[in-house]
A = this chain, B = another copy of it.
Amino acid sequence: MLFFIYSSGVETSKDWSRLATVVATFEVLILFLFLKFVTYPSTSFSEVDDIQYVFYLNVTVMMLVGFGFLMTFQKLNALTAVGMTFLITTICIPWAILTGRFFASVAGNLEEYPGVQTNSSLWSPIELNITSLLQGNFAAAAVLISFGALIGKVTPSQIALMTIIEVPLYSLNKEVFCIGALGTLDMGGTIFIHLFGAYFGLAVAYMIGKPKYTDDAEPSRISDVFSLVGTVFLWIYWPSFNGATAGVGGEEQLLTTVNTVISLCASCMTTFVVSSVLNKKLSTVDIQNATLAGGVAIGAASNLKITPGIAFLVGMIAATISTFGFSRLQSVLEGKFGLHDSCGVHNLHGLPAILGSIVVSVAVLYPTTKGDVIYPKGDYQAAAQLGGAACTLVFALISGSIVGKLLVCISPKNSSRPFLDDEYWTVAEKKI
């Protein structure tokens, strides 16, 4: 059916009909699956659920306000940034509730691990609760990171299609490959979300290729300020992202909070230092992005007793790597390898997630650091963590390449002016 919709050579001006077809078909599927498989919880509700709900809200602010506005820096593409973020998130929430539970059941994951774990049988009813909604948001985070590498170069229907395909791949990697097979745990989503989302998106971006005309991808003074709205909301609520599944009122949630805040303070300060040195001015894009790298890098180890000083150090290193990425590496990747990364997700999510994978692997080597956290692989947990990261990286690159190739095959003739809302939205003023 897809190839019927996407008959080759269709102009971008017809993308609306493909978008409507893809999303409407998906909605009918979701409606059917929800009617058949999703129920309310049988367990009783308590105050703890209301506190968990606050974490859900914080993470949702990060999606729609954080990611959505962070991407508004492209001066004539803000409707696409916020609007497509909105669509992606609302596709992911109901979809990941289904795919997450499905693959967790396939893998037989236990309740204790921070995924959509379950030991109920494969086709039994799915109980919808606050944690389900949170897991939906986490899938949205992975897709939004991928979207960050692509914004301005893909049509709305391509993004909708990619979202629908990426969510089950995300759940498969997390629940079956990492948690189920390898025993990888990842409190803050450093591996499952940031590493997967970034390299999946980069693989798609590589397949789609470098656009010829990129002037419109630049910011304006005003779009830079809108983007900072996203930055500060991401910074503020990041501890909730890392600790959302740590368990209300437990020690791990205290650790995720204080470790994440301290790491983020360090990465903000360090970005100001490194950006100054590398650019002889404060580079706006560095401050909008690299200040958050500490949140990515600390994620997987944020529930461990790594000490506040080490959390600070992790934030410093993460921001240094990230700022180098934005100021030096990105133009090399674009110039030499033809990899055009719209928002620099490689610098904010990719590289700090690799750092974070190493940090958690080292941390689990020390029994005192692990505290009360029970890891399934015991003395071999460091290998399980590194293995999970390697598996995620490889799977993201391969599946992203295939999806990218698919999007290219079914894509319209490339727009001569990418990075513009005008092609797909009713915009207020035509003048560009």
Complexed CA–CA distance, A244 and B289 (Å): 30
- A380 interfacial by beta-carbon distance below 8 Å: no
Residue from the set A57, A75, A237 with the largest chain B CB neighbour count within 10 Å: A57
Given contacts A61-B236, A83-B282, contact A220 B429 (CB under 8 A): yes
Q: Which residues of B contact A203 (CB under 8 A)?
A: none
Interface of A is mostly: helix
A45 at the interface (CB under 8 A from B): yes
Which residue, A50, A240, A250, has most C-beta atoms of chain B within 10 A?
A50
- Within 16-55 of A, Cβ neighbours of B (below 8 Å) are at 16-17, 19-20, 23-24, 26-27, 30-31, 34-36, 38-41, 44-51, 53-54
CB distance from A294 to the nearest CB of B (A): 10
Q: Which one of A175-183, A186-194, A305-313, A382-390 is at the B interface?
A: A305-313
CA distance A16 to B283 in the complex (A): 11
Contact with A428, one of B219, B236, B287 (Cβ below 8 angstroms): B219
A254 interface contact, C-beta 8 A: yes
- For the complex formed by this chain, how many copies does it contain in all? 3
Q: Which residues of A contact B (CB under 8 A)?
A: 16-17, 19-20, 23-24, 26-27, 30-31, 34-36, 38-41, 44-51, 53-54, 57-58, 60-61, 64-65, 68-69, 72, 75-76, 78-79, 82-83, 86-87, 90-91, 93-94, 128-130, 132-133, 156, 160, 218-226, 228-229, 231-233, 235-237, 239-240, 248-251, 253-255, 257-258, 261-262, 264-266, 268-270, 272-274, 276-277, 279-285, 287, 291, 305, 307-310, 312-313, 316, 424-429
Q: Show 6 A/B contacts (Cβ-Cβ < 8 Å), sorted by A.
A: A34-B308, A65-B232, A68-B228, A75-B428, A79-B224, A223-B428
